């Protein structure tokens, strides 16, 4: 991490230098130690070593047992098809939409919708999609019976179809906003509009011009987020429980159910399954990389042909439809959660309930209190620690000229490329081995692994872009580095800091697996409670919990936007509008 | 009711764990001597104050969860005991946790203080000495059960409870159906099959080993097998195939006629409510005679739904509260159990707007004022009067449950 730097002459600085110099290492440690420890805790039982259960010799038994499980190949194949399908579809939508619409008012409108969409937790979005697409869902109700002839809901297996299509739809709806945000961030560094205009002036169609001259530069920068989407979609559990097939389930969902089985011997198989999931993700990432190379090669050859592709109207409208569908699905899904949470009796095929009532909210108000407190406690701690580590690291980088190079930045994404189940299973095993009680603190540590990268990535840009001349002036007026940090820099960066905190908090709110596995079922947040309700299928209560979960993630966002405007109402440039 | 299976391999596993781990031998030694605990109730109350009881209980129904939350508030106010409801989707999760702790040598300070249990989970814990006790008769409210007159409260799926657990609730199988779509429901298994043949896709049951799914298998088995009395003693390799053959033939015939052609099953009992409200099914099984009425009052079922029972009788059981051998809050757990047995808590449990589950108390023995809380309760619109609930069939020995679940998974599930 460290780079050689010229030793300063101010001796006073020496003390914090020694501490601060290691800040980047501490930050990476906070992310990597849990992941590495967890992977070790997964790997050893997978090869037969699990002293607490009497396994003290190495054997291929667990892996053979896993392969002999009748659903293994199907679950593995499902993991690959959903992962690759979701990533391809989301990427295609984002690329086409950006290529066709960047620079238009419509594109800016979509941009403004991104933050709220991103803050919607995966589980809530999945419930919304389920309410929309089910045979008795809103879509079928609106169309029935006049258009479809269905006087009773059709007997089709949706959601939970065996091919995982509903699950893919739910994931695409959440991954499109994420990739779009990453793409927009990358566009800032590529002079995209200028390049595209030049290409257009050479006669290229708008969409094709962008894809030829901008996409290669943009893709370079969004590659890691794309890999993160692939790894996530291959191994997601909460969305799979809500929308995915259950006979058999996806590999990761199956691993989680083995972990909670009464038959402790199944934990060997669970560990082997988690390891297999890691291998599957690794292998698929390599295949994806190979695909990138060959697609790049073919596209280069196609570009040399010099075809102008001017007629892209159909494509442009298809791109718009592709981007609008997931956004609408999430928004209408949330609306259906809202309607259900207030619904009196509501039978098929009525489009709206016969009556509306507060009773569901009143009945569950007291059940919401504890999960809300737990969610806020864990989120606040994870965000606080992540924010502190991030600022210390960035400050160290600045003061000692230690630069995280692009390649090292990749390290930040590394925890996001490891399937969650692969190391979380190991963390639970380690807790069992060591006799330590899993609790809120352990869950917070696991959340930091996922919160920290997002906090760092969202704040690093504005932090580095801060005009250092303010520091020079403040030093000239006699203020030390600490004082400059607290009195000038952080207040000026209030807006970006709050946004980073809000993003981190939303990430924490949405975490299902780290809370479930590390908390051993004893730490109950809004997310674990909401997903646990999935099996009961009581849409009114699900509506209450999923909406509360969405609010928990969204309220900090609103605060992050409102607070700087309030505090800096007399300093326009600091409002970060 | 409740208290999910899947302890299928538990016995084997325990044996294996015993062979594999030397730790187990030392831990096997056993339940903390009762003498270490206060014998007098005032002393128990004093020791319990300030304790937190981790109550592991199936949480598949939001209404039961709300009831437990209510009990938590009262117990904290009155006795200074905090209840943390650890929400299980399957009671075997708690059994697995206690087992893991013993295997790791933790004989005190365990994570589970009180567990809602019955059937094969109770058997697994009892046979492997994972339970604290006997303690049941030390509760002041024990006498209200009049247990001598009610043998079903001291046997759990044919296994003697031996004071290791106290009864908490009763359950009986009923079926509910929507009169708007189904006028005359089938009252035996033959009529049931004929109805399903005419109305394919209009029935399903929860995915075994979910406890209600397994219960449907047992209820159907009673209606199909010529030898129901054999279910009361352990299943053997000699009689199992013969006794259960009619059930498997029946399931082979009806599975293609089920909702989603038997390719998917609802994950839990409450999911059936949503399916019926959506008009996806016309008939469903329940383990709570008051469930349909309660659901109507919460708008979860149409007001046209009614309840009925099979003419050959309905499976009935009690479910219990037990304390693990290594519980951290022994006294607190007993205080909680005693409160849950109180007329106040039992009457509230009976209220169809709260939970609608039958009491285990002998109501006739209660003083006038307390009895009234039970008798003045209006049964819901879809609830059968007690004398219309028909014959109660006892739960089969747990060995039947285990074998049924295993075979069902092999035939119709996807294996674990």
Confidence of residue A112 (pLDDT cuts 50, 70, 90): confident
Judgement on whether residues B178 and B266 belong to the same structural domain of the protein:
yes
Closest chain B residue to A134 measured between Cα atoms?
A: B278
CB pairs under 8 A between A and B: 171
Say which range, A354-363, A568-577, B365-374, has the weakest mean pLDDT.
A568-577
Judgement on whether residues B159 and B261 belong to the same structural domain of the protein:
no
Confidence of residue A533 (pLDDT cuts 50, 70, 90): confident
- Taking CB atoms and an 8 Å cutoff, what residues of chain A touch B84? 522
Judgement on whether residues B186 and B45 belong to the same structural domain of the protein:
no
- Taking CB atoms and an 8 Å cutoff, what residues of chain A touch B266? 537
What is the per-residue pLDDT across B31-44, written as a single tens digit (0 to 9) for each?
444 445 667 899 99
As a whole number, mean pLDDT of residues A146-161 equals: 80
What pLDDT does residue A18 have? 64
From the CA atom positions of chain A, what is the Rg in Å? 25
Max mean pLDDT among A300-309, A379-388, B97-106 falls in: A379-388
Judgement on whether residues B160 and B23 belong to the same structural domain of the protein:
yes
User: Closest to A538 (Cβ–Cβ): which among B95, B274, B278?
Assistant: B274
Q: Give A 503-532 residues with CB within 8 A of chain B.
A: 520-522, 524, 529, 532
Under CATH, to which class is A59-352 assigned?
mainly alpha
Q: Give B 335-394 residues with CB within 8 A of chain A.
A: none
Q: Which of A131, A243, A262 to mutate to test the interface with B (most CBs of B within 10 A)?
A: A262
Judgement on whether residues B329 and B300 belong to the same structural domain of the protein:
no
Confidence of residue A126 (pLDDT cuts 50, 70, 90): very high
User: Dihedral angle at the C-alpha atoms of B126, B127, B128, B133, nearest 10 degrees?
Assistant: 30
Tell me the shortest Cα–Cα distance from B313 to chain A, in angstroms: 27
Inter-chain residue contact B61 with A363, CB threshold 8 Å: no
Pick from A120, A102, A226, A224: which is nearest to A170 by CA?
A120
Say which range, A94-103, A121-130, A218-227, A305-314, has the weakest mean pLDDT.
A305-314
First to last CA, chain A: 35
Examine residue B133 and state whether it is found in any structural domain, yes or no: yes
Examine residue B388 and state whether it is found in any structural domain, yes or no: no
Q: What is the 3-state secondary structure (H, E, C) of A268-291?
A: HHHHHHHHHHHHHHHHHHHHHHHH
As a whole number, mean pLDDT of residues B149-178 equals: 93
Say which range, A15-29, A80-94, A336-350, B121-135, has the weakest mean pLDDT.
A15-29
Examine residue B165 and state whether it is found in any structural domain, yes or no: yes
What is the per-residue pLDDT across A229-256, written as a single tens digit (0 to 9) for each?
999 999 999 999 899 887 678 899 989 8
Examine residue B3 and state whether it is found in any structural domain, yes or no: no
Percentage of chain B exceeding pLDDT 90:
58
Does residue B270 sit at the A interface (CB-CB below 8 Å)?
Answer: yes
What is the per-residue pLDDT across A201-225, written as a single tens digit (0 to 9) for each?
998 988 889 988 999 999 988 998 9
Count the domains in chain B: 2
User: Closest to B62 (Cβ–Cβ): which among A263, A264, A538?
Assistant: A538
Inter-chain residue contact B20 with A54, CB threshold 8 Å: yes
What pLDDT does residue A527 have? 94
Tell me the shortest Cα–Cα distance from B324 to chain A, in angstroms: 15
Does residue B128 sit at the A interface (CB-CB below 8 Å)?
Answer: no
Examine residue B1 and state whether it is found in any structural domain, yes or no: no
Examine residue B113 and state whether it is found in any structural domain, yes or no: yes
| pLDDT above 90: residue A356 | yes
What is the per-residue pLDDT across B314-329, written as a single tens digit (0 to 9) for each?
999 999 999 999 999 9
Residue A96, class by beta-carbon neighbours within 10 Å (0-12 exposed, 13-18 middle, 19+ buried)?
buried
SS3 of residue A38 by DSSP: helix
SS3 of residue A49 by DSSP: strand
Which pTM value belongs to this model? 0.82
What pLDDT does residue A405 have? 57
Inter-chain residue contact B21 with A538, CB threshold 8 Å: no
Does residue A540 sit at the B interface (CB-CB below 8 Å)?
Answer: yes
Q: What is the 3-state secondary structure (H, E, C) of A178-201?
A: HHHHHHHHHHCCCCHHHHHHHHHH
As a whole number, mean pLDDT of residues B46-74 equals: 91
User: Dihedral angle at the C-alpha atoms of A118, A124, A129, A130, nearest 10 degrees?
Assistant: 160
Examine residue B85 and state whether it is found in any structural domain, yes or no: yes
A358-577 homologous superfamily: MetI-like (1.10.3720.10)
Closest chain A residue to B85 measured between Cα atoms?
A: A522
Tell me the shortest Cα–Cα distance from A385 to chain B, in angstroms: 28
User: Closest to B86 (Cβ–Cβ): which among A432, A521, A534?
Assistant: A521
Does residue A260 sit at the B interface (CB-CB below 8 Å)?
Answer: yes
What is the per-residue pLDDT across B180-189, written as a single tens digit (0 to 9) for each?
999 999 999 9
Max mean pLDDT among A172-186, A417-431, B213-227 falls in: B213-227
Phi, psi of B178, deg, nearest 5: -95, 110
Inter-chain residue contact A535 with B10, CB threshold 8 Å: no
Judgement on whether residues B250 and B137 belong to the same structural domain of the protein:
no
Q: Give A 146-175 residues with CB within 8 A of chain B.
A: 152-153, 155-157, 160, 162
Judgement on whether residues B140 and B53 belong to the same structural domain of the protein:
yes
Judgement on whether residues B232 and B305 belong to the same structural domain of the protein:
yes
Judgement on whether residues B210 and B229 belong to the same structural domain of the protein:
yes
Confidence of residue A162 (pLDDT cuts 50, 70, 90): confident
Tell me the shortest Cα–Cα distance from B70 to chain A, in angstroms: 9
| pLDDT above 80: residue B10 | no
Which domain, by its residues, includes B30? 10-170+318-382
Asked whether this complex has an ipTM greater than 0.85, the answer is no
User: Closest to B13 (Cβ–Cβ): which among A152, A265, A539?
Assistant: A265
Does residue A432 sit at the B interface (CB-CB below 8 Å)?
Answer: yes
What pLDDT does residue A3 have? 43
Strands B174-178 and B305-308: antiparallel
Confidence of residue B122 (pLDDT cuts 50, 70, 90): very high
Judgement on whether residues B118 and B246 belong to the same structural domain of the protein:
no
How far is Cα B110 from Cα B130, in angstroms, rounded to an integer?
11
As a whole number, mean pLDDT of residues B216-220 equals: 97
Inter-chain residue contact B21 with A53, CB threshold 8 Å: yes
| pLDDT above 90: residue B16 | no
Does residue B59 sit at the A interface (CB-CB below 8 Å)?
Answer: yes
What is the per-residue pLDDT across B354-396, written as a single tens digit (0 to 9) for each?
888 889 999 988 998 889 988 888 878 888 888 889 999 999 9
Question: What angle do the packed helices A539-567 and A122-133 form, to 10 degrees?
Answer: 130
Does residue B77 sit at the A interface (CB-CB below 8 Å)?
Answer: no
Q: Which of A536, A541, A544, A546 to mutate to test the interface with B (most CBs of B within 10 A)?
A: A536
How far is Cα A378 from Cα B86, in angstroms, rounded to an integer?
18
What is the per-residue pLDDT across B271-304, written as a single tens digit (0 to 9) for each?
899 899 988 899 999 999 888 988 898 889 999 9
CB B323 within 8 A of CB B114: yes
| Phi-psi domain of A103 (left: phi exceeds 0; alpha: psi -120 through 50; beta: other) | left
| pLDDT above 80: residue B83 | yes
CATH 1.10.3720.10 in chain A, residue ranges: 59-352, 358-577
Pick from B83, B81, B74, B86: which is nearest to B51 by CA?
B81
- What is the overall mean pLDDT for chain B? 86
What pLDDT does residue B15 have? 38
**Higher-confidence position of A43 and A266:** A43
Number of residues that make up chain B: 416
CATH for B207: 3.40.190.10
Judgement on whether residues B108 and B128 belong to the same structural domain of the protein:
yes
Q: Give B 276-315 residues with CB within 8 A of chain A.
A: 277-280, 298-300, 302-303
- Taking CB atoms and an 8 Å cutoff, what residues of chain A touch B303? 345
Confidence of residue B93 (pLDDT cuts 50, 70, 90): confident
- Taking CB atoms and an 8 Å cutoff, what residues of chain A touch B93? 260-262, 521
SS3 of residue B321 by DSSP: strand
Does residue A53 sit at the B interface (CB-CB below 8 Å)?
Answer: yes
Q: Give the angle subtended at the CA of B122 by the CAs of B120 and B124, to the nearest 5°.
A: 65
Percentage of chain B exceeding pLDDT 70:
90
Examine residue B250 and state whether it is found in any structural domain, yes or no: yes
How far is Cα B362 from Cα B374, in angstroms, rounded to an integer?
11
Contacts of A101 (CB under 8 A, 6+ apart): A107, A110, A316, A319, A320, A323
- Taking CB atoms and an 8 Å cutoff, what residues of chain A touch B127? none
As a whole number, mean pLDDT of residues A299-321 equals: 87
Inter-chain residue contact A70 with B415, CB threshold 8 Å: yes
Judgement on whether residues B332 and B312 belong to the same structural domain of the protein:
no
Strands B165-172 and B82-88: unpaired
């Amino acid at each position: 991490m460290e780079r050689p730097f010229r030793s300063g002459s101010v001796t006073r600085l020496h003390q914090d230098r020694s501490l601060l110099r290691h800040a980047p290492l501490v930050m990476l440690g906070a992310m990597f130690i849990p992941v590495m420890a967890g992977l070790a805790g997964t790997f050893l039982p997978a090869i037969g070593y699990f002293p607490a259960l009497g396994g003290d010799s190495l054997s291929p038994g667990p892996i053979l047992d896993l392969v002999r499980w009748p659903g293994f190949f199907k679950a593995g194949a499902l993991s690959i098809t959903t992962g690759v399908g979701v990533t391809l579809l989301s990427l295609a939508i984002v690329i086409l939409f950006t290529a066709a619409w960047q620079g238009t008012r419509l594109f800016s409108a979509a941009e403004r919708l991104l933050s709220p969409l991103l803050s919607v937790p995966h589980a809530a979005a999945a419930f919304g999609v389920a309410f929309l697409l089910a045979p008795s869902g809103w879509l079928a109700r609106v169309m029935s019976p006049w258009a479809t002839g269905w006087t009773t809901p059709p007997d089709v297996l949706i959601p939970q179809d065996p091919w995982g299509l509903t699950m893919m739809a739910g994931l695409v709806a959440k991954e499109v906003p994420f990739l779009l945000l990453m793409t927009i961030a990358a566009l800032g560094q590529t002079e995209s509009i200028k390049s595209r205009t030049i290409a257009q002036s050479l006669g290229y169609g708008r969409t094709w011009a962008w894809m030829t001259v901008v996409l290669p530069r943009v893709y370079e920068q969004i590659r890691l987020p794309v890999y993160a989407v692939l790894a996530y979609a291959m191994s997601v559990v909460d969305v799979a429980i809500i929308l995915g097939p259950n006979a058999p389930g996806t590999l990761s969902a199956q691993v989680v159910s083995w972990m909670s089985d009464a038959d402790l011997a199944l934990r060997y198989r669970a560990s082997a399954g988690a390891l297999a999931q890691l291998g599957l993700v690794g292998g698929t990432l390599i295949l994806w990389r190979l695909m990138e190379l060959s697609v790049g090669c073919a596209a280069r050859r196609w570009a040399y042909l010099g075809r102008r592709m001017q007629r892209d109207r159909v494509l442009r409208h298809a791109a718009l439809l592709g981007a609008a569908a997931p956004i609408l699905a999430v928004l209408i899904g949330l609306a259906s959660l809202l309607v259900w949470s207030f619904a009196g009796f509501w039978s098929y095929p009525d489009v709206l309930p016969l009556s509306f009532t507060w009773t569901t909210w009143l009945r569950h108000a007291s059940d919401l209190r504890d999960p809300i407190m737990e969610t806020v406690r864990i989120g606040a701690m994870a965000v606080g620690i992540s924010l502190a580590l991030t600022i210390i690291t960035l400050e160290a980088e600045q003061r000692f000229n230690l630069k995280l190079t692009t390649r090292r930045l990749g390290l930040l994404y590394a925890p996001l490329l490891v399937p969650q189940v692969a190391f979380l299973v190991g963390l639970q095993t380690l807790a069992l081995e060591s006799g330590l009680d899993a609790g809120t603190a352990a869950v917070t540590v696991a959340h930091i692994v996922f919160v920290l990268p997002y906090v760092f990535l969202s704040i690093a840009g504005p932090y580095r872009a801060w005009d250092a001349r303010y520091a020079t002036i403040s030093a000239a007026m006699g203020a030390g580095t600490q004082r400059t940090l607290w009195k000038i820099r952080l207040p000026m960066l209030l807006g970006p800091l709050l946004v980073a905190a809000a993003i981190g908090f939303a990430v924490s709110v949405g975490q299902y697996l780290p809370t479930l596995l590390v908390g051993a079922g004893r730490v109950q947040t809004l997310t674990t409670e909401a997903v646990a309700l999935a099996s009961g299928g009581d849409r009114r209560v699900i509506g209450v919990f999923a909406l509360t979960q969405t609010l928990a993630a969204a309220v900090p966002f609103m605060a992050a936007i409102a607070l700087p405007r309030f505090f800096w109402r007399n300093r326009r440039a600091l409002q970060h509008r | 009711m409740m208290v999910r299976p899947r302890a299928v391999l538990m016995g084997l596993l325990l044996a294996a764990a015993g062979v594999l781990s030397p730790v187990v031998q030392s831990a096997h030694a056993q339940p903390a001597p009762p003498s270490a605990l206060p014998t007098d109730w005032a002393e128990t109350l004093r020791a319990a104050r300030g304790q937190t009881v981790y109550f592991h209980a199936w949480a598949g129904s939001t209404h039961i969860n709300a009831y437990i939350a209510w009990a938590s508030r009262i117990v904290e106010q009155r006795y200074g005991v905090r209840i943390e409801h650890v929400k299980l989707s399957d009671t075997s999760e708690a059994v697995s946790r206690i087992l893991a702790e013993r295997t790791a040598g933790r004989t005190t300070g365990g994570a589970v203080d009180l567990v809602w249990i019955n059937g094969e989970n109770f058997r697994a814990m009892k046979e492997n000495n994972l339970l604290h006790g006997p303690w049941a008769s030390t509760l002041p409210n024990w006498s209200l059960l009049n247990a001598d007159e009610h043998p079903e409260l001291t046997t759990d799926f044919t296994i003697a409870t031996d004071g290791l657990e106290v009864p908490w609730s009763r359950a009986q199988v009923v079926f509910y159906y929507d009169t708007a779509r189904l006028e005359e429901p089938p009252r035996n298994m033959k009529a049931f099959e004929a109805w399903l043949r005419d109305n394919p896709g209009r029935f399903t049951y929860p995915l075994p080993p979910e406890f209600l799914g397994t219960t449907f298998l047992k209820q159907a088995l009673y209606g199909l097998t010529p030898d129901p009395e054999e279910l009361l003693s352990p299943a053997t390799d000699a009689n199992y195939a013969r006794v259960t053959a009619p059930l498997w033939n029946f399931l082979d015939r009806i599975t293609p006629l089920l909702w989603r052609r038997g390719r998917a099953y609802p994950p839990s009992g409450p999911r059936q409510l949503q399916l019926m409200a959506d008009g996806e099914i016309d008939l469903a099984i329940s383990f709570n005679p008051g469930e349909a009425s309660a659901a109507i009052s919460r708008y979860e079922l149409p007001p046209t739904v009614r309840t009925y029972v099979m003419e050959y009788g309905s499976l009935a059981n009690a479910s219990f509260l037990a304390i693990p051998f290594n519980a951290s809050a022994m006294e607190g757990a007993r205080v909680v159990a005693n409160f849950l047995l109180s007329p106040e808590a039992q009457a509230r449990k009976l209220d169809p707007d709260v939970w609608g589950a039958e009491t285990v108390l002998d109501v006739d023995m209660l003083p006038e004022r307390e009895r009234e809380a039970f008798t003045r309760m209006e049964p819901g619109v879809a609830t059968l009067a007690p004398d219309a609930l028909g014959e109660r069939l006892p739960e089969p020995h747990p060995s039947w449950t285990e074998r049924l679940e295993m075979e069902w998974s092999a035939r119709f599930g996807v294996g674990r």
